[in-house]
Amino acid sequence: MKAIRWFNIILALLLLSACSRSSDGPGFALGKPTATLRPPIPDIRPAPDESLAVSSYLEAWQNDDYETMYGMLTKVGQDTISLEDFAAKHNNALNTMGAASFDFEILSGLLNPYLAEVAYRINYHTALIGDLQRDMVMRLSLENEQWRIQWDEGLILPELGGGNTLAMDYAIPARGNIYDREGAAVAVQADAVALGIDMSNLPEDGGGVLGEVAQKCDLPLENILEMLETGTDWYIPMCEVAGEDAQYLLRRNLSGLVITPYQARFYDRSGIAPQAVGYTQFISEEILTEYRRQGYRGDEKIGTAGIEKWGEDYLAGQHGGSLYVVGPDGQIVTRIAESSPQAASSLYLTINSDMQVAAQKALSGFRGAVVVLERDSGRVLVMASSPGFDPNLFEPNNNNSGYLLGEVVNDPRNPLLNRAAQGEYPLGSVFKVITMTAALESGLYLAETPYDCQYEFTELPDRVRYDWTYEHCQERLQDGDPETNCNTSDSTPSGLLTLQEGLMRSCNPYFWHIGLDLFNNERQQDIANMAMAFGLGQATGIGQVAEAPGYIPFPGTAEEALNNAIGQGETLVTPLQVASFTAAIGNGGTLYRPQIVEQIQPVDGSPTVTFKPEARGTLPIRPENLQILQDAMTSVIENPRGTASYRLRGLVVDAAGKTGTAESGSGKPHGWFAGYTMASEDTGLPDIAIAVIVENVGDGSEYAAPIFKRMVETYYYGSPQSLFWWETTFGVPSTPTPLGGIPTKTPKRR
């Protein structure tokens, strides 16, 4: 019996083994190898996370990534709406709400093997109606083992289900005005007129038209006559005026004068500091979404450059609006929320309009810039750049725009560039004040350290370098000057000089010697470090207008050290930087942050922002060395041998400065002058610092120094007191124009 029992057990095991070898179920599979019996392996892949899918979808929306969002829709959803329409619905909703951003929070989720529902909270941060919060549910389907979103317009807002849309009724305040420091209009909303001359109706004697235009447009009559002679059309645009001037001309009804009224942003006097103040334009298509989400309707004008752009938030005020849900039939379904507009603020600038206009006129016919700062505060009194432009031309309703705007935009001289803050130039000999400071602070030089300044510099054997006096002598010889022995002060070697006299005479060999001496004494970086401590090679921090940083190189070779010492080579600075460090030299060593906004004034209440001087650094110069530098800069003007003494004869106040002539790399050198006044005790007015650059005109003493003098006269007397040497009357240059180069036999200075 026991044997039969074991036989049955063995037979049962054999039968089970045969069944496991069969691929089609029970039975024996002859000819196949035996296999071990194993239990089935369960599917342990994790189910997709429906909450993660919803988070990914909403994160893509936060980034305006509509393509990713669309790719997460179900097949049915994609069949019901195109990617373009899908993106447009989301974009339009955010734009209409004025929602620059939104947050979301996943609340809960329900799911079965193939469907899911995820509850979430979304909070839109809108510019007009504050935060808009909704609790919503997103439904999902499992397709190809991935959760897909079931598209519904209610996923944007529940109110949008059933084909509803959003609409915003905007309330837009008037744009704020811009005034100068005395409250004179710079940019205001106004009824204006465009003035032009109809050549076909102009009387032969002008009929009084030209005199009126000259006065209202503040143009010399000679300039108007030149425009009429060179004009090729029947209509010659002149300028734009507003207020009483416009009404006066409308009443006169002068024959030949075309007066076209329009209403818009008006810039007084054809633009006071136009590159700094800027202008307004309609919102372009490229930035429309950005502004719609800030609560703009889209058809407003916005600040496009300068103060208009910087102060947009203040000048535009706070838009208001009512957000509605509109049904498919165009009828309002409900009002979601509303807000009231808040009036715009006005900006008061630190600009002195009379000085600013005087600077713009002084630069007329040149390329260049003038910056005037209050020496002891950083206030910008003048920021002039030439060539200039009329910001009124950016108004499409201005009749003159169609004639002149294209010329402004396409002008190769780039009049829209603010050369005062964005123009980057080699500084030339004005840089010698920095080299002199580095020399004094190194301990290797004293005020009385001598140097024999001759025509030639041969301390570096690669080639012979020449002082500016030699260059002037050669110019005289080439011009056939009767003084062929070059015995005038601007053509004779300066001879034995102290360090202070070296600056006064702007002796190139002396400063090449300093640069090489510091380089050879393991002080290769002294001059560059001093330049950066003076604020060069970096933004001044003005902030309210765009500025360039410039560039200060660190010399790696002896030749680079020589160039570095006289502000040439790769050195680049802006006139604003130069005015800033010049002010610091004059005020005792404090570098102030230049500022051009005096205050921001709401319609009601006290100013929200008021000018405060902000120190941004201190010149690293000991008081005794600063005094040496100041005395040297004073002698540039007061000493008969000083490079600016001839052109600044009769200067009305005590001042100090430095001339500069910077090789431009193309054409004549750029002319520089930088200086400051020392007259507050005598005049009761704050002292000022001035930087002037005139491009491609030659020596700094010839054009830049006289413009410095005019700025000083205008500041202290209210108007210019002396003609430029190139003028016949104020504002009227002799022929040829300065840019053509006026021949002169007067002494030249560097």
pLDDT band at 271 (very low <50, low <70, confident <90, very high): very high
Mean pLDDT of 65-75: 97
The DSSP result for 706-733, as a single string, is HHHHHHHHHHHHSS--S--TTEEETTEE
Confidence at residue 232, expressed as pLDDT on a 0 to 100 scale: 79
- Report the C-alpha gap between 578 and 426 in whole angstroms: 11
Confidence at residue 727, expressed as pLDDT on a 0 to 100 scale: 92
Mean pLDDT of 280-308: 97
* 3-state helix, strand and coil shares in percent for the chain, rounded to the nearest 5: 35, 25, 40
Quick check: 534 pLDDT over 90? yes
Quick check: 699 pLDDT over 90? yes
In 384-525, alpha helices (H): 401-410, 419-422, 432-442, 468-478, 499-505, 508-520
**What tokens were used for 271?**
């633009």
Confidence at residue 733, expressed as pLDDT on a 0 to 100 scale: 84
Instruction: Work out the mean pLDDT of the chain and round it to a whole number.
Output: 90
Q: 687-698, pLDDT tens digit by residue?
A: 999 999 999 999
Q: What angle do CA 418, 422, 425 make, to 5 degrees?
A: 115
Mean pLDDT of 54-68: 97
Selection from 374, 349, 352, 380 nearest residue 583 by Cα:
374
450-469 burial: b if 16+ Cβ within 10 Å, else e: ebebbbebeebeeeebebbb
Quick check: 480 pLDDT over 70? no
pLDDT band at 723 (very low <50, low <70, confident <90, very high): very high
> Is the Cβ–Cβ distance between 92 and 288 less than 8 Å?
no
Confidence at residue 735, expressed as pLDDT on a 0 to 100 scale: 56
Confidence at residue 117, expressed as pLDDT on a 0 to 100 scale: 96
Percentage of the chain with pLDDT > 70? 91
Confidence at residue 20, expressed as pLDDT on a 0 to 100 scale: 42
pLDDT band at 6 (very low <50, low <70, confident <90, very high): very low
**What tokens were used for 454?**
């001759």
Confidence at residue 36, expressed as pLDDT on a 0 to 100 scale: 44
- Report the C-alpha gap between 586 and 579 in whole angstroms: 11
Confidence at residue 3, expressed as pLDDT on a 0 to 100 scale: 45
Confidence at residue 99, expressed as pLDDT on a 0 to 100 scale: 97
pLDDT band at 231 (very low <50, low <70, confident <90, very high): confident
Mean pLDDT of 262-277: 97
Quick check: 173 pLDDT over 90? yes
Confidence at residue 259, expressed as pLDDT on a 0 to 100 scale: 96
Confidence at residue 744, expressed as pLDDT on a 0 to 100 scale: 34
Q: Bridge-partner residues for 241, per DSSP?
A: 193
Is the Cα dihedral 241, 245, 251, 256 positive or negative?
A: negative
Mean pLDDT of 282-294: 96
Q: 547-556, pLDDT tens digit by residue?
A: 999 999 999 9
**What tokens were used for 36?**
């071990």
Confidence at residue 19, expressed as pLDDT on a 0 to 100 scale: 41
Lowest mean pLDDT among 32-41, 626-635, 727-736: 32-41
**What tokens were used for 518?**
């510091």
Burial degree of 311 (CB within 10 A; 0-12, 13-18, 19+): buried
Mean pLDDT of 231-241: 92
Quick check: 749 pLDDT over 80? no
Rounded to two decimals, the pTM is: 0.88
Higher pLDDT pick, 735 / 746? 735
Confidence at residue 474, expressed as pLDDT on a 0 to 100 scale: 84
Quick check: 652 pLDDT over 70? yes
Quick check: 318 pLDDT over 60? yes
For residue 64, the one-letter residue type is D
Percentage of the chain with pLDDT > 90? 82
pLDDT band at 481 (very low <50, low <70, confident <90, very high): low
Mean pLDDT of 424-436: 98
Mean pLDDT of 143-167: 95
Confidence at residue 47, expressed as pLDDT on a 0 to 100 scale: 55
> Is the Cβ–Cβ distance between 560 and 314 less than 8 Å?
no
Q: Which helix (H) or strand (E) holds 229?
A: helix 221-230
Structural domains in the chain plus CATH codes:
1-31 (no CATH), 50-162 (3.10.450.100), 181-271 (3.90.1310.10), 428-740 (3.40.710.10)
Confidence at residue 748, expressed as pLDDT on a 0 to 100 scale: 40
pLDDT band at 485 (very low <50, low <70, confident <90, very high): low
For residue 69, the SS3 value is helix
Which residues contact residue 414 at a Cβ distance below 8 angstroms, ignoring those fewer than 6 apart? Answer: none
Q: Running DSSP on this structure, what letter comes out for residue 318?
A: B
- Report the C-alpha gap between 594 and 596 in whole angstroms: 7
Q: 356-394, pLDDT tens digit by residue?
A: 999 999 999 999 999 999 999 999 999 999 999 999 999
Quick check: 10 pLDDT over 50? no
3-state SS, 627-684, equals HHHHHHHHHHHHCCCCCCCCCCCCCCCCEEEEEEEECCCCCCCEEEEEEEECCHHHHC
Quick check: 44 pLDDT over 80? no
Mean pLDDT of 412-427: 98
